[in-house]
Structure 1
Amino acid sequence: MCRHLAYLGPPVTLAELLFDPPHSLVRQSWAPRDMRGGGTINADGFGVGWYPGEGEPVRYRRAQPIWSDPTIAQLAAVTRSAAVVAAVRSATVGMAVLDGAAAPFAEGRWLFSHNGVIRGWPDAVVPLAAGLPVRDLLTLDATTDSALLWALVRHRLRAGADPVEAVGRTVTDVAAAAPGSRLNLLLTDGHRVVASVAGHALSVRETSGSVLLASEPHDDDPGWRSVPEGHLVVATAGEVRIRPLPAPVGAPSRHATVDRTKGANR
């Protein structure tokens, strides 16, 4: 499975997120601690997206291992941002390994990443894919499950859905169509992050005025906490809320909710 992260807060260098921590994303590319569902390393590409200001994000994506690309190390040392998404990829057998298959995917201000796999690909999700505009299917970044998940989320966003609904409903729809899928999604517009925990791990760490979500904690800071399975994280630099994923359409509503807010002035 892949590894990904999202950061919101005071501007930091990309190196502070990707390279400097003892269990950084770069280290997770060759020595991950939690690889569920197969795979041992994340060497099938990487990507990082960051917001230089209030405009659209900038991306750098490659189909090679992150440790083998000298440009990203140089770029990370001198690039600062208050909002970052990054990922290292372990490709599912049979799926393309090319620049366009690496997260983050993007449109406008949106950045998107997926950690996991759709079981029964592609047959299990043919009915869901059939609901997308033909042009969206013809212009996928790659013929991969992650690219299709992005198309499904993006379609909801274009139709006016709130990002929480777009992520939550996409996860429940795909989980119903393809049981056993691992669907940890991550979406941000540079101000708010929405992330799902469905089949894999996600941890969150809050500090004064910042939040970091990551597939694996990148250090031993006691501030890290695990997000429960079957939940969504909705976070800004000043607030983190955790709530259950929406119930599948037609299923009884869930009565138990988890809504955790931490910190002052929230």
Structure 2
Amino acid sequence: MCRHLAYLGPSEPLGRLLVAPPHGLYRQSWAPRRQRHGTVNADGFGVGWYAGDDPVPARYRRAGPIWADQSFADLARVVRSGAFLAAVRDATLAGADAEAAAAPFAADARLFSHNGAVTGWPGSLAGPAGTLPPEELLSLEARNDSALVWALVLARLRAGDDDGRALAETVLEVAAAAPGSRLNLLLTDGATVTATTWGDTLWYLTLPGSGTVVASEPYDDDPRWREVPDRTLLVADRAEVRLTPLKEPGDTATQAFVSPKEPRT
């Protein structure tokens, strides 16, 4: 299991949202309040951010616990961005991929994170993996479940799906192949944040004039945090948050729900 967070809004030091809050992602690496599976997220961490007019995000990732990296604390104090995604990792299985296995994964202008685990990994995803070209499988950044889920999402994006459809269809595909998987996915292109809830917690916070935060759990006790129901697709930008229920694998019924536009001043 992992914890992750994405932010869109006015340019802020990374540390204001990741380190400074009393229950920020930094503290969630050893003391998460709402994590249902696992207790310590010390198997790696990472942050990706967008700078200036460059559409390709920068990343900083490490294999160890975030609290042991003094370079990150210094970086987070001075690096500012209006869009970033960060994660702390609790590995599903032991592996030797080091920082390559730590989110955020990246391609083109997007950053991606997976909070959860694929049941029966790796055998359960032999079918979905077989839909990918061999060169894509050989190019996987790491040999873990999150990297393969990202490859499935990326294949849909490059085939023309929008971010919401790419995440939703990947969740349904993986859930059908590996029932019981936990598939909270988080994706950003620097202008929008798209996420799914499937087996674990997700919350969002919108502040007038101060942006939108989407996170595994609240980083403080602000009463404006809102929990996202399980089996939901979230799409957010700097102006509004939209929620759409996800159907179960094999359910052909169409469902849709759009949240009221968040008030802005």
Structure 1-normalised TM-score? 0.95
Measured in 2, the distance between the counterparts of 1:9 and 1:251 equals: 36
Q: Which secondary structure does the structure 1 equivalent of 2:224 belong to?
A: coil
Aligned twin of 1:62: 62
Instruction: Provide the C-alpha distance between the structure 2 equivalents of 1:156 and 1:51, rounded to a whole number of angstroms.
Output: 23
Identify the residue that residue 152 of structure 1 maps to in structure 2: 152
Question: Could you report, residue by residue, the CA deviation over 1:59-96 in whole angstroms, capped at 9, with x for unpaired residues?
Answer: 00000100000000100110000001000000013344
Deviation at 1:243, TM superposition (A): 0.5
> Is the Cα–Cα contact under 8 Å of residues 35 and 201 in structure 2 kept in the other structure?
no
**Alpha-carbon distance between aligned partners in 2 of 1:75 and 1:169, rounded to the nearest angstrom:** 36
1:154, CA displacement in angstroms? 0.4
Q: Residue 52 of structure 1 corresponds to which residue in structure 2?
A: 51
Q: Does 1:263 align with 2:238?
A: no
1:109-144 per-position Cα deviation (integer Å, ceiling 9, x unaligned): 100000000001011110100000111111111100
Mapped to 1, the partners of 2:228 and 2:157 lie a distance apart of 24
The one-letter amino acid paired with 1:140 is L
Aligned to 2:227: 226
Checking the alignment, whether the CA contact within 8 Å between 2:208 and 2:264 is kept in structure 1 is no
- Look up the equivalent residue of 2:41 and give its one-letter code: N
**Counterpart in 1 of 2:127?**
127
In structure 1, how many angstroms separate the alpha carbons of the residues matched to 2:8 and 2:91? 27
Is 2:176 aligned against 1:170?
no
CA distance in 2 between counterparts of 1:53 and 1:140 reads 29
Count of paired positions:
263
Tell me the distance in 1 between the aligned counterparts of 2:10 and 2:260: 20
Describe the shift of the 1:245–1:96 C-alpha distance in structure 2 as closer, same or farther (beyond 3 A). Answer: farther
Question: Shift of residue 54 of structure 1?
Answer: 2.8
1:12 aligns with 2:49: no
For 1:231-246, list aligned pairs within 5 A.
231-246=232-247
Q: What is the deviation of 1:252?
A: 2.6
Deviation at 1:191, TM superposition (A): 0.2
Q: TM-score, normalised by structure 2?
A: 0.96
1:258 Cα deviation after fit:
2.4
Q: Which string of whole-angstrom CA distances, capped at 9 and with x for unpartnered residues, describes residues 140-177 of structure 1?
A: 11100000011000001111111110000000110011
Q: Tell me the amino acid that sits aligned with residue 254 of structure 2.
A: R
Contact 1:168 1:246 in 2 (8 A): no
Percent identity for Structure 1 against Structure 2:
56
Shift of 1:17: 1.3
- How far apart in 2 are the matches of 1:35 and 1:223? 20
Q: Which residue number corresponds to residue 211 of structure 1?
A: 212
Tell whether the 8 Å contact from 1:203 to 1:225 is kept in structure 2 after alignment: yes
CA deviations on 1:11-40 (whole Å, 9 max, x unpaired) are 110010111000010100011123323x21
Partner of 1:170: helix, strand, or coil? Answer: helix
Paired residue secondary structure (1:30): coil
User: Post-superposition shift, 1:108?
Assistant: 1.1
* Alpha-carbon distance in structure 2 between the residues aligned to 1:119 and 1:20: 35
Work out whether residues 91 and 97 of structure 1, in 8 Å CA contact, stay in contact via their aligned partners in 2.
no
Contact 1:247 1:254 in 2 (8 A): no
* Shift in alpha-carbon separation, 1:41–1:265, aligned structure 2, 3 A: closer
CA distance in 2, matches of 1:115, 1:81: 23
Q: Which residue pairs with 1:28 in the alignment? A: 28
